[in-house]
Amino acid sequence: MTYKIAILPGDGIGNDVMDAARIILDTINLDAEYLSGDVGWEFWCREGNPLPDRTIELLKESDCCLFGAITSKPKEEATRELDPALRDKGVSYYSPIVAMRQLFNLYVNMRPCKAYEGNPLNYRDDIDIVVFRENTEGLYSGVEFHPLPQAVRDALSLHPRMKAFEDVTNEDMALSCRIFTRRACQRIVRAAFEYAKDQGRKSVTVIEKPNVIRETSGLMIREARKIAEEYPGIEFWETNVDAMAMWLIKNPQDYSVLVTSNLFGDIISDLCAQLVGGLGFASAANMSDNFAVFEPTHGSAPKYAGQYKVNPTAMLLAVRLMLDWLGEEEDAQSLSRAIASVIKDRKIQTYDMGGTSSTLEVARAVAERV
């Protein structure tokens, strides 16, 4: 069966690294049809929608998506750059990547953070962590209020702790809801354990803060404990998120699979990425049971746009994640070895690694070894 793969380069260096990805895809010669789609700032400015409906249709027809990077700007700038004809049409900017996560229920955000031998940016050479971040709810559920509507205020006043805020007006109070569902807790923890089982990993660490955030973190921990019992061969550790930040700096080599909620996962996964070289090496898979979006986690880095200067490794690792997800194990392994080998040689390096090679030179070097 020929795969249908949506290709959304987006803005800035999203295009540079997507060209690098195409070199690899052409070399692998995957039986796939690549469907290019519009996404990003240009479409916000011209159409008032950075993720046009035609792109959503294209995604629905595809097996999965490879995403570059997009530019987002604060509210005032976004309005200023919008086509004047659209300004009073009530359109407002919304991040396409967040929209895709919600639209396609991409509940797992998986970010591998592996120290490749020879990478001068490694914090240590023996780090091999995979972060599983819940991708649809938690503090990023989008349920927020400011000022507080009176009905919400009335509902909150059912809680005895609200007495402490009695003298604060609705105007002076903002509320962002941390929503956890049993369903989402279960499926993210299960995804982490299934991965650990599949990959023969020794431990899964659930990261929350149940001693303080008793209800939401508590729910996650209780569900995690139940699921952990189904995987007796895998060690199950529980760590508070604040302590985890410390442990990850102190002993990152001790950890294997991490699982946590949306905000904590966002923070912890950036911390882990930096331990193994930072933005040029951080790729992510956003996955549901039947669709997935693979991306480097860096942004559009406008100052380098079109210069083919940035490190394509994060994007190439995203291609590797895609091949894994498609079940193309041989190609995935071979790409993975090729990336590792180019890093180990220390000859072809982009500026962030202290080298002078271009984005496409790195991609070609990897392609030669695939």
Report the interface residues with ligand NAI, using CB under 6 A: 69-73, 97, 279-280, 298-301, 303, 310-311, 314, 352
Q: Return d(Cα 286, Cα 99) in angstroms, integer.
A: 12
Name the residue type at position 211. Answer: N
Q: Which does 310 bind (CB under 5 to 8 A by kind): ligand NAI, Mg ion, none?
A: ligand NAI
| SS3 sequence of 57-69 | HHHHHCCEEEEEE
With respect to Mg ion, which residue has the nearer C-beta, 133 or 209? 133
Query: Contact between 266 and Mg ion (CB under 5 A)?
Result: yes
The binder of 266, among ligand NAI, Mg ion, none, by C-beta within 5 to 8 A per type, is Mg ion
97's contact among ligand NAI, Mg ion, none, with CB below 5 to 8 A by partner kind, is ligand NAI
User: Rounded to the nearest whole angstrom, what is the least distance from the CB of residue 172 to ligand NAI in the complex?
Assistant: 29
Selection from ligand NAI, Mg ion, none that 316 binds (CB < 5 to 8 A by kind) is none
Name residue 75's amino acid: K
Check if the beta carbon of residue 56 is closer than 8 Å to that of residue 39: no
Which tokens hold the place of 43? Answer: 């479409």
Site string for Mg ion, 218-257 (x = CB under 5 A): ----------------------------------------
Q: Which residue is nearest to Mg ion (CB)?
A: 266
Q: Which does 63 bind (CB under 5 to 8 A by kind): ligand NAI, Mg ion, none?
A: none
Residue nearer to ligand NAI on the CB measure, 98 or 152: 98
Name the segment binding Mg ion (CB under 5 A); options: 36-44, 113-121, 161-169, 262-270.
262-270
CA 368, chain centre distance (Å): 28
**Residue number with CB closer to ligand NAI (258 or 353):** 353
User: Is 41 in contact with 71 (CB distance < 8 Å)?
Assistant: yes
Provide the minimum distance between the beta carbon of 38 and ligand NAI in the complex, in angstroms, as a whole number. Answer: 15
Antiparallel, parallel or unpaired: β 257-260 and 128-134: parallel
Tell me the residue number closest to ligand NAI, measured at CB: 299
Residue 349 near which of Mg ion, ligand NAI, none (CB within 5-8 Å, type-dependent): none
Q: What count of other Cβ atoms lies within 10 Å of the Cβ of residue 267?
A: 15
Chosen from ligand NAI, Mg ion, none, partner binding at 303 (C-beta under 5 to 8 Å by type): ligand NAI
Stretch in the footprint of Mg ion (CB under 5 A) among 251-259, 263-271, 309-317, 354-362: 263-271
Least spacing, CB of residue 37 vs Mg ion, in Å: 23
Q: How far apart are CA 100 and CA 70, in angstroms?
A: 13
Give the C-alpha distances (Å, rounded to integers) separating 12 from 42, 145, 319. Answer: 11, 33, 19
Using DSSP's 3-state secondary structure scheme, residue 125 falls into: coil
Do strands 128-134 and 292-296 pair parallel, antiparallel, or not at all (unpaired)? unpaired
Residue entry with tokens 């102190």: 250
Shortest approach of Mg ion to residue 270 CB, angstroms?
6
Q: What are 251's two structure tokens?
A: 């002993």
Rounded to the nearest whole angstrom, what is the least distance from the CB of residue 8 to ligand NAI in the complex?
10
Q: Closest distance between ligand NAI and the C-beta of residue 284, in Å?
A: 9
Per-residue tokens: 314? 């994060």
- Angle made by CA atoms 30, 36, 42, in degrees to the nearest 5: 150
Dihedral of the alpha carbons of 313, 319, 320, 326, in degrees to the nearest 10: 170
Residues found near Mg ion in the complex (CB under 5 A): 266
